[in-house]
Each structure stands twice: as C-alpha cells, then as structure tokens.
Amino acid sequence: MELKIKHDGALSVIELFGSINSGNAQEFEAALAGEPSGADGMLIDADGLEFISSAGLRVLLSAKKRCKAKTFRIINVSNEVMNVFDVTGFSEIMDITRAVRKLTVEGCDKIGAGACGEVFRLDDETIIKLYYPRVKKEEIELEKALAKKAFVMGVPTAISYDIVEADGRTGVVYELIKSKTIGELIRGDEAHLEDYVSLYADVCRHIHSIEALPGQLPSFKDINRADIPNVTGVTDAERSYLHRFLDLVPETLNCLHGDLNINNIMVQNGECCLIDMGEFSTGTPMFDLSRILFSMELAGAPRGEFNHFYKMPQDTVDRVLHLFFEKYFGCPLEEAKKNHPEAAWLYPLAWFRCCTSLLKGDRWGEEKRAMALDILRTKLIPFVDAQDK
C-alpha cells in the first residue's frame, strides 16, 4: 500500500495505491488519523487502489464518521474494488464514484447523430452515444439514470451500461439493438406503411399506460418551463402567457418519452425499442403527441416538398401523422378531439412547442420565427384567455 495526502483548499485529498489488507490496515489508519485536517472534509482518490479488505473498510468507515456533516467522497474506483463496496453495502452509505473507462472511437462506424451527440458502433453488441462538449456531465448522468429507470419500469428501451471517456469526450455505452428505426422501415418499404404506423401507435400507447409514483420521475411540465427563459423576441407579458399556459395543462403521472419521433423507435423482430431517454418524465400523454404534431406538421416542409428531418416527402409524413392519430385514438383526430377530452390539449401544446423551439437560439430561420410569433399571438394567448374566463 502507498498513499499520498495533499490539501486542496480546505479539503483533504488522499490518493491510494496498491492493496489495503489486514497486514497494513493499521498503517493506513495511522496515516489518516489526522484527516480531515481542513474544514471541508475528505476526498479519497482510489484510482490506484487494486484491493481493499474488511480491515481497510473499517478505516474508511472511521474516517467518514470523523467527517460528520463534512464532505466524504471516494472517487475513481475500479470495477473490482466497487464490487467490494457493493457487496458490503458501503456503496449505499457512502458517496462512491466508479472510475471512468477510457475508449476510442477511432475506426468505429458512425451510425447516427442528433442534437446532443453522435452514435458509434463499438462492436457487435454495444454502441456508444458520444456527447458534444457543450453537454454537461450532469445531463449525461441524468439520461443514463432515466434510461435505467425506464427499463426497470417496463418501457422497452436499450440497456445502458457505463459512462466512459472517448477521445476527450464523455459518452454512454448502450446495448446494440440490431434493427432499423420505424422511419427507416417506412422509407424502405412504404407498401407496409400502415403496419409500421400501427407499431408506432402501439408502443406510444404502451408507454403512456405506465404510471410512475409521485416524485419518481421529473415532471415534463418542469422540463418545458425551463425552456421559457430561452425564448427570444417576445415581450414580458407574452412570456408570462407561456407560464400561464403550462399552469393550465393537466398534471398526470403517465410516463412520457419526450421525443417520440419515428427516428427514436427501433424495431427488432416485430418489437419496438426506444432510444434517447434524456427527457423520460411524467405528464399528460398529449405532451408526447403534441411534439409529434409539431415536428411533422408545424415544423415540417410545405406539401409537395421533401422533409429533410424525416428524409421522406412531406406528403408521406402527413399520411403517417394522420394515420398515427387514427390508430392511437381509435378514430380520426377530428373525432378524437370531440370524444377524448385530453385531445383538446393536443394543438395548444403543439403551439407552445412552436414558441419554445422555434423562438429559441438560431437554429430556425426568420420565416419559422415569424410563424411561431403569429401562433403565440393569434392562437396560444387567446386560448389561455379563454380558459381563464
């Protein structure tokens, strides 16, 4: 065993190397006896720790007790040492973080890209979603945690493995789903479009039929509310209407994906599997359906033109959209708006999405921004006023 002690501000930092066992546990205890010497607590860097026995664990437990309410963290733990912490229950009572595995995607096939990152095939069983540098580590950890929760709750999604570092960027390793997206299937076999849309509607209904416990998942209302400060080109009064609108939306505990477009649903042996779980949350299912409506209709291409997001003619996208609603509700959309009270929120939520998406950042051109402002002023604000009466 070897250890180094340094002080980073008021935090004691202890770097561990080699093995800690009954033969050197007393030496380990004596070395830590004066720590934490600062006011903030103790950080144990286990990057070089190869093994720890029960005697070494008792020393760590004593050190944690000395810290009381101060910081006590163990970082860069190898899988082997983490197994010891897990088996003994230490991972449940201490703040312990695994070491980040380092990979490279050099020579790997790039199989996709999105707003947050790129996807590479690592081998025949796994892929890596490699995030752009602007994506915060906390957001990546949240997406991985939500994917795990979704899987346990019965949502068909890929298994998420570990958070890794690849070529200077952070990524998450996932199970490789050897399949095509619903979008790819439609583009390659339009003769069976109705069958694929049936799968689409079925998996959406399945997700929405799952209810979370209170506080188990983020609220999609809160996720949407966080976008309102980023909207530009509106008055303070108009911005307040966006908040008032969300206040009116019914709050439910139905599970939501957050972006159920046909490019985020894989099909393997006739069964669907979801990807991109970063907005897995709860709320009225109309949130999910309104985003489909937004991307296919309100943000889509004009009729007769090519939709570059869906990589198919806009006429085909329109057909998918209307057929999807018919299969989801069991009747055409116009009839659903009369017979399903929740469907009355579909278009208003899509108008809201127009405002928070098209009026945020510089991704969209002036034509789309003008459309969103018109929707805000002529549709969404009057809708809110009508509800308040």
Q: Which CA distances in Å does 115 have to 1, 145, 183, 278, 345?
A: 46, 19, 18, 12, 27
Number of CB atoms found within 10 A of residue 15's CB = 17
pLDDT at position 227 is 94
Q: How far apart are CA 292 and CA 261, in angstroms?
A: 6
Q: Are strands 117-121 and 109-113 parallel, antiparallel or unpaired?
A: antiparallel
pLDDT at position 163 is 87
Point out the residues of the chain with pLDDT beneath 50.
none
- Is the pTM of the predicted complex or chain greater than 0.85? no
Q: Are 46 and 60 in contact (CB under 8 A)?
A: no
Q: What's the helix, strand, coil split of the chain in %, to 5?
A: 45, 25, 30
pLDDT single digits (tens) 182-226: 999 999 999 999 999 999 999 999 999 999 999 999 999 999 999
| Cis, bond preceding 250 (omega within 30 deg of 0) | no
pLDDT at position 389 is 67
pLDDT at position 64 is 93
pLDDT at position 154 is 93
Element (H, E) at 174: strand 169-175
Dihedral angle, C-alpha 18, 161, 170, 121, nearest 10 °? 120
Q: How far apart are CA 22 and CA 24, in angstroms?
A: 6
